[in-house]
């Protein structure tokens, strides 16, 4: 049951005292708020609040019914079981009507919100141990593979003869291809610097925390453009550049590419 505030109980007690004083023909008890009691016609003094006429009519009819059938309620009260513990006075309004209070219910008691459990483990030792074991396995495989399989190296270099075309390793062929199109400052510094700067800014531009690929269209599109741009340059430098680093068709002039 909701707890009734103390100030409402005091106001109800004062209202009952004024009602009893009016019934006995005496003066009404003064209101602490300074408001004057309303007259029978529903009018109030200029300094006090005005009670609507329909509320006064309801209070008059309630008092008349109470006065007419006073014996019946007394009998009903006598036969009703007495409550255990202290009985609080029932709050009533200025006209004797019963007042009800609305109880504020916290949202946590009516909303059943359960957090989704997430499985989390510590980086050490769970993650780092697995990565360390994987690094050991890869190192051992590379060592054994290099013992039994020779690297595809060319013959010893002849400093008196420069190969034509002279190509960089495949992972640098994209940069060499840019050098054939732009000034060395633009091809070697400006374009790669802008690409790296855009990749650095990507996490700050796309702040979507979702890990699903279909919801990360911006990040996937940016990385796809970057990889495709570099892959196309490497393929052109590897298969479509012949003697003098001129553009050739590999199905016509052959391949000028060696590992």
Tokens matching residue 100: 């009800």
13: in domain: yes
pLDDT at 96: 60
Percent share of the chain, pLDDT over 70? 69
Instruction: Say how far apart CA 229 and CA 194 lie, in whole Å.
Output: 13
Same domain? 146 vs 175: no
258: in domain: yes
DSSP 8-state secondary structure symbol assigned to residue 24? T
Same domain? 139 vs 226: no
List Cα–Cα distances, 141 to 127, 145, 221, in angstroms: 21, 6, 35
pLDDT at 93: 58
107: in domain: no
Q: Containing domain of residue 29, as a range?
A: 1-35+90-98
Same domain? 237 vs 169: yes
70: in domain: no
197: in domain: yes
pLDDT at 235: 93
Give residue 142's pLDDT band: very low, low, confident or very high (50, 70, 90). very high
Instruction: Say how far apart CA 115 and CA 121 lie, in whole Å.
Output: 18
Work out the mean pLDDT of the chain and round it to a whole number: 77
pLDDT in tens, 82-118: 555 555 655 565 556 666 666 666 655 555 556 666 6
Tokens 């009016």 map to which residue? 22
pLDDT at 2: 59
Same domain? 139 vs 209: no
User: Coil, strand, or helix at residue 241?
Assistant: strand
User: Coil, strand, or helix at residue 92?
Assistant: strand
Same domain? 186 vs 209: yes
Same domain? 218 vs 257: yes
Contacts of 236 (CB under 8 A, 6+ apart): 177
pLDDT at 72: 47
**pLDDT of residue 4 exceeding 70:** yes
Same domain? 220 vs 132: no
Instruction: Say how far apart CA 161 and CA 166 lie, in whole Å.
Output: 11
47: in domain: no
185: in domain: yes
Domain count, the chain: 3
**pLDDT of residue 206 exceeding 50:** yes
Nearest to 258 by CA among 178, 154, 175, 174: 154
Least confident of 21-30, 143-152, 166-175: 21-30
Same domain? 254 vs 199: yes
Is the previous residue joined to 165 through a cis bond, with omega within 30 degrees of 0?
yes
Same domain? 236 vs 213: yes
pLDDT at 125: 84
pLDDT in tens, 10-54: 888 888 898 888 887 654 445 544 444 444 444 444 444 567 777
């Amino acid at each position: 049951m909701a707890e009734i505030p103390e100030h409402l109980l005091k106001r109800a007690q004062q209202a009952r005292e004024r009602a009893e004083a009016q019934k006995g023909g005496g003066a009404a008890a003064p209101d602490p708020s300074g408001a004057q009691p309303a007259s029978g016609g529903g009018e109030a003094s200029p300094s006090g609040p005005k009670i609507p006429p329909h509320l006064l009519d309801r209070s008059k009819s309630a008092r008349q019914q109470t006065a007419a059938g006073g014996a019946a309620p007394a009998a009903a009260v006598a036969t009703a079981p007495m409550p255990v513990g202290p009985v609080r006075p029932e709050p009533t309004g200025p006209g004797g009507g019963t007042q009800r209070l609305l109880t504020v219910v916290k949202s946590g008691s009516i909303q059943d919100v359960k957090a989704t459990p997430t499985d989390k483990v510590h980086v050490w030792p769970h993650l780092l141990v697995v990565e360390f074991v994987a690094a050991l396995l890869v190192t051992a495989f590379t060592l054994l593979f290099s013992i039994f399989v020779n690297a595809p190296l060319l013959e010893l270099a002849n400093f008196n003869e420069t190969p034509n075309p002279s190509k960089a390793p495949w992972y640098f062929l994209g940069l060499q291809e840019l050098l054939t199109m732009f000034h060395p400052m633009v091809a070697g510094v400006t374009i790669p610097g802008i690409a790296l700067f855009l990749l650095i800014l990507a996490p700050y531009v796309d702040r979507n925390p979702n890990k699903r690929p279909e919801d990360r269209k911006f990040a996937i599109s940016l990385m796809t453009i970057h990889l495709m741009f570099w892959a196309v340059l490497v393929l052109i430098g590897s298969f479509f550049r012949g003697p003098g680093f001129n553009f050739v068709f590999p199905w016509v002039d052959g391949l000028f590419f060696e590992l």
